[in-house]
Amino acid sequence: MTYSLIARDPATGAFGVAAQSHWFNVGQPVAWVRFGVGAVATQASADPSYGWRGLALMAEGVEPKRALQDLSNADAGREQRQVAMMNASGAVATRTGSECIEYAGHLTGDGWSAQGNLLSTPVVVEAMAAAYEASRGPLVERMLIALEAAEAAGGDLRGRQSAVIRIVSDATAAETAAGDGIDLRVCDHEDPIGEMRRLVMVDAAYRQLEMGLVAIDDGRNEEAVAHLDAAVQPGHVGELEFWRAIGLVRLDRVDEAVAAFGHLADAQPMYADLLARVAKVDPIAADLQNAWNHH
């Protein structure tokens, strides 16, 4: 009832789980990750205890192959399960029970595993694996490409409903903006992967804003401007425009800030009220309000 990918980016050390299913909120039972430990995808007749127990074993240093074997040996329903485990180093173990509903299967590679069950065609897993292997770029983008390829090859026999991408990273806050990777879920949607791609774009925009603010604090002004400009590219999140304008004032680019804020306030007058409130506690916002009032 689900197809999923667990993968690790060898360049950054980031790793995680991505999945899609015709089931409400697939991320809740299927996708498990823990910083510095590993990732688990548990599906078919999903037993979520494979997630937290598998992570606990890997946290103790048990290799994924042994952890999966031990958990499966103690599970009377193991032939109805499909489970993939990967530790933080990228070692992978995957098992597809003999009673998983066809089409069911898995493929593994260096630092990744693609798996699915109740699939419309036997080539879904192959398409997902091939797309991931051929893709380049950040791990989240490669995961999206893999999910899109699986869906294009037929996906879940019943259709689509929910999707999840969970990634943890050991990168610094300045590099990731949040420092905790990605945790995005589409619980119920007619096009969950398309909606997930939109959410990833919005998430990236907020990360650009945060990286811009960090760059300002560090005195990397040109880099800060690039990040602030990149943050507003989606063009549909007014709050990003608001905080970009505040950031531009901090960079002494007051005229640009006033122009940007004026455009935003004309389109959404609520932001004039927001600026007035923030200006009471933030001197930079007060500078923007004063400049805008006298523009």
For residue 54, the domain's CATH number is 3.60.20.10
Sign of the torsion angle spanned by Cα atoms 50, 55, 59, 63: positive
Higher pLDDT among residues 289 and 233, named by residue: 289
pLDDT band at 173; cut points 50, 70, 90: very low
- Shared-domain flag, residues 126 and 22: yes
Supply the pLDDT for residue 250: 97
Look at residue 77 and tell me if it is in a domain: yes
The stretch 117-138 carries a mean pLDDT of 97
Higher pLDDT among residues 235 and 295, named by residue: 295
The stretch 72-83 carries a mean pLDDT of 98
Look at residue 198 and tell me if it is in a domain: no
Residue 39 near residue 15 (C-beta atoms within 8 A)? yes
Q: By residue range, what is the domain housing residue 227? A: 205-293
Q: What is the CATH number of the domain that holds 235?
A: 1.25.40
Q: What is the CA radius of gyration of the chain?
A: 22
> Token pair for residue 2?
């689900």
- In this prediction the pTM is 0.91
pLDDT band at 221; cut points 50, 70, 90: very high
d(CA 136, CA 216): 30
Look at residue 196 and tell me if it is in a domain: no
Residue 246 near residue 288 (C-beta atoms within 8 A)? yes
Instruction: List, in sequence order, every residue forming a beta bridge with 156; answer none if it has no partner.
Output: 119
Write the burial class of residue 223 (CB in 10 Å: 0-12 exposed, 13-18 middle, 19+ buried): middle
Measuring CA to CA, which residue among 243, 249, 244 is closest to residue 278?
A: 243
Q: What percent of the chain stands above pLDDT 70?
A: 96
Amino acid sitting at position 177: A
Q: In sequence order, what are the residues at sequence separation of 6 or more whose Cβ sits closer than 8 angstroms to the Cβ of residue 67?
A: 54, 57, 58, 85, 93
d(CA 257, CA 284): 11
Report the relative pairing of strands 112-116 and 162-168 from DSSP bridges. unpaired
Domain endpoint, select from 159, 189, 219 = 189
pLDDT tens for 9-68 read 999 999 999 999 999 999 999 999 999 999 999 999 999 999 999 999 999 999 999 999
| Cα Dmax for the chain | 74
Domain endpoint, select from 134, 163, 189 = 189
- Shared-domain flag, residues 106 and 229: no
